[in-house]
Structure 1
Amino acid sequence: MIKEEKSVCKTYGEMDIGSFTTELGARIRNVKIAYERIGPKDAPVIFVCHALTGNQYAVGDEEQPGWWSGLIGKGKHIDTTKWQVITMNVLGGCNGSTGPLSEDGDGNKYGVKFPFISVRDIVNSHYSALKRLGIRNVHAIIGGSLGGMQVLEWGILYPNFAKLLLPLATSPYLSDFGIAYNTIARFAITNDPNWNEGNYEGNPTIGLSIARMIGMISYRSSEQFNARFTREIREGWGNNHQESSYQIESYLKYQGEKFINRFDANSYLYLLKAMDHHDIGRKRNGWRKALATIKANIVAISYKGDIIYPSNVLNEVGKICQHNSQTAKHYEIDTIFGHDGFLVEFEKWGHLIEEELNGIH
């Protein structure tokens, strides 16, 4: 179903791209990719790639603002009166694109029978969907975290598709440290009795909420947690082991409980595996040589205190790409929000995006 709001030139829909074959050779039938499209239809396209628990609603609406509504919209840093912005839910996701919750063609949900997918599979499926929308090239591709992984793959898989690449809070490969966090999250979900080898009827709430709490710790810096919560007492101390003595405990539990109502555990597992497998140098003689194939201008942004994707890695990406593309830059944003810096404090870095978008012709 397609919903159109002509006053804001906004479209929500699902694009049927037919059968899709993964990197591992698995064939997925009747693949659908859900999307949000906003802005003048004849304007240059900015393609947005979302992070692990994101979705296609980057802009959203007045009732439910999107996860990047502070960056994208009328009169904002990515101005939707000037640019046409398209965001797609990832393959393997749980917000309309084909994933574990989808039917497998025989009337059953895929569940853990869904094929393993890679970041390259996500990019290839989105390329097919964009072609179906009549998009043959874009002005820029932007995304953070898992979205940034996609941005880098876009530049390698389709070197002539975009003029500008904007990878944020990401890396050309996921480090062992990053895989370690994903391992704990995966262990929490798969060892929840309600996971039932992936054949659950309702989310395995304990495991998925623990996984989310683990993620929340890795997304922020210690400075941000300490400054926000300041060891504030909530329920008192020493009554029982289930008490939330401190405000930070209550916050993490709340984040876990909220998450189980909006995200599917199997989708989370599949996307964690895709992130673990992310390495732009895989089968390309290493990530440095892979970067050499990028033709687009590239502007990378990292965030101080990001423990998963430290700034020095993206800084090296920028240096390597300076020898290959027309323009290659790296900015580090001073923030206490760590990895989540790409979702907040747009006043600190949104102008950089705006300037780079306007500077490329």
Structure 2
Amino acid sequence: MTDARFGLDRTATLGALALDGGGTLAAVEVAYETYGTLAPDASNAILICHALTGDQHVASTHPRTGKPGWWARMVGPGKPIDTDRWCVVASNVIGSCLGSSGPASGDPATGRPYAMAFPVITIRDMVRAQAMLLDHLGIGTLAAVVGGSMGGMQALSWAATFPDRVRACVTLASAARHSAQNIAFHEVGRQAIMADPNWANGNYYDGAAPTAGLAVARMAAHITYLSEAGLTAKFGRKLQARDTKTFGFDADFQVESYLRHQGLAFTDRFDANSYLYITRALDYFDLAEEHGGHLARAFAGSRTRFCLVSFDTDWLYPTSESRGIVHALNAAGAPASFVELKSPFGHDAFLLDSPELDRVMAGFLGAAA
């Protein structure tokens, strides 16, 4: 008999979740998907954690955009995360807008969307909600938790918060805390959203959404995901569909047109309030701070195996951030592997075709059984 808990487009209604900020979500909903078959002893489960604007549609068609899942190249039969071997679980983080509890969800107290009454959440809150989901699925221990960018922060938080539930941890293009520069970029995006007159202090669900502000926020963030060399190679100073400059403020340059397209496309699939909440969760993330100011303490006594991957052109979470985590793991006596890969694509490299990353992933997970 098929277990209805497993498959695509699933939502679990879970219990109450106490939050780091002091509040409580009375009934957490988590939207998720699973790929592959869970072993009878539930020993082959891998949790994939998504980045800021990602979702649970890792290897399935996205219901809003119609595009393939954001990591379809990595997850599937015969792929580096082989669903013939592993049961992959991917959930939408709380605070987001693809089915999990977030500011667009209905507030049981009012029957209307929470909007800005939704409590501020942390990365660790997201991880605790994922742990509740795994309990619901009957998964006690993960063979591995895997994530890139914000997903990598969740993976590290998993290893620190539930060390006995994680046999292996893969962290790609990530960091153990948000830097001042990263916080600054996020604040620009948040201010763009809140300056949009349609934002209406977050109470826009019955009217026009603050799409202009959200598009600008996305444009600013998208620049940080790329590299200068990659932008130059792709766009340079080439003009967009014209032979001469207009001497106006239309998108004369191809890179301008590209960013405008990215911003507008983003508003079709993401909620502005969710962007505020998730960027705030990222800014609050500081794994060392959670453990008395010493990152090594987060991994003290850990039996989890770690694999960290950085990319040489990633200036959002540069290689120095990964090296700092490795040093802390070494100090804690935790087994750790680390590699810096070459890529012209900047931070987004972990999402794009990379045979070297494929080999690292398949090799590390091959020893995770």
Mapped partners of 1:170, 1:271: distance in 2: 16
The answer as to whether partners of 2:147 and 2:170 remain within 8 angstroms in 1 is: yes
Query: In the alignment, what sits opposite 2:318?
Result: 310
Whether the 8 Å contact between 2:297 and 2:332 is mirrored in structure 1 is: no
| Residues 192, 207 of structure 1: 8 Å contact kept | yes
- Using the TM superposition, give the Cα deviation of residue 267 of structure 1 relative to its aligned residue in structure 2, in angstroms: 0.2
State the partner residue of 1:275: 282
Tell me, yes or no, if structure 1 residue 12 matches structure 2 residue 19: no
Amino acid corresponding to residue 41 of structure 1 in structure 2: L
Structure 2 equivalent of residue 99 of structure 1: 102
SS in 1 for 2:8: strand
Q: 2:232 matched to which residue of 1?
A: 226
Q: How many Å separate the matches in 2 of 1:246 and 1:65? A: 29
Whether 1:261 aligns to 2:265 is: no
Match of 1:340 in 2: 348
Q: 2:216 aligns with which of 177, 200, 210?
A: 210
Please give the alpha-carbon distance, in whole angstroms, between the structure 2 residues aligned to 1:321 and 1:188: 38
Alignment correspondent of 1:67: 70
Identity of paired residues, percent?
34
Please tell me the residue identity of whatever aligns with 1:84. C
Report the secondary structure of 2:337's partner residue.
Answer: strand
Are residues 1:358 and 2:366 paired?
yes
In structure 2, relative to structure 1, the CA distance for the partners of 1:345 and 1:129 (3 Å cut) is: same
C-alpha deviations, 1:324-350, integer Å up to 9, x for none?
A: 355201111101111111101231211
For 1:28-77, what per-residue CA distance to the aligned partner results, in whole angstroms no more than 9, with x for missing partners?
A: 12210000101012160110000000000111149642100001111111
Choose 62-71 or 22-31, whichever is displaced more: 62-71
- Taking the TM superposition and a 5 Å limit, the aligned residue runs for 1:35-46 are 35-42=32-39, 44-46=44-46
Q: Which has the larger displacement, 212-221 or 318-327?
A: 318-327
* Structure 2 residue 188 is matched with structure 1 residue 184: yes
State the AA in 1 paired with 2:314: D
Name 1:290's counterpart in structure 2: 297
TM-score (structure 1 length as normaliser): 0.94
- Counterpart of 1:32 in structure 2 is 29
- Tell whether the 8 Å contact from 1:172 to 1:287 is kept in structure 2 after alignment: no
Which secondary structure state, in structure 2, belongs to the residue aligned with residue 37 of structure 1?
strand
AA in 2 matched with 1:303: F
Work out the CA distance in 1 between the residues paired with 2:186 and 2:98: 21
CA contact (8 A) 1:102 1:110 kept: yes
CA–CA distance in structure 1, aligned partners of residues 176 and 168 of structure 2? 17
Counterpart code for 2:365:
L
**Aligned equivalents of 1:25 and 1:112: distance in 2?**
16
Q: Partner residue of 1:140?
A: 144
| Contact map agreement 1:4 1:12 (CA 8 A) in 2 | no
CA offset digits 1:305-331 (Å, max 9, x no partner)? 111211012112113313435520111
Match of 2:175 in 1: 171
CA distance in 1, matches of 2:274, 2:295: 30
Deviations 1:207-259 (A, max 9, x none): 10000000110000000000001221114455363311111111000000100
CA distance in 1, matches of 2:306, 2:27: 34
Q: Residue 298 of structure 1 contacts residue 325 of structure 1 at CA under 8 Å; is this kept in 2?
A: no
Unmatched segments (≥5 aa) in structure 2: none
The one of 245, 251, 259 aligned to 1:252: 259
Given the alignment of the two structures, is residue 77 of structure 1 paired with residue 83 of structure 2, yes or no? no
Distance 1:203 1:169 in 2: 32
Partner of 1:52: 52
Residue aligned with 2:31, SS: strand
Residue 291 (structure 1) shift: 3.5
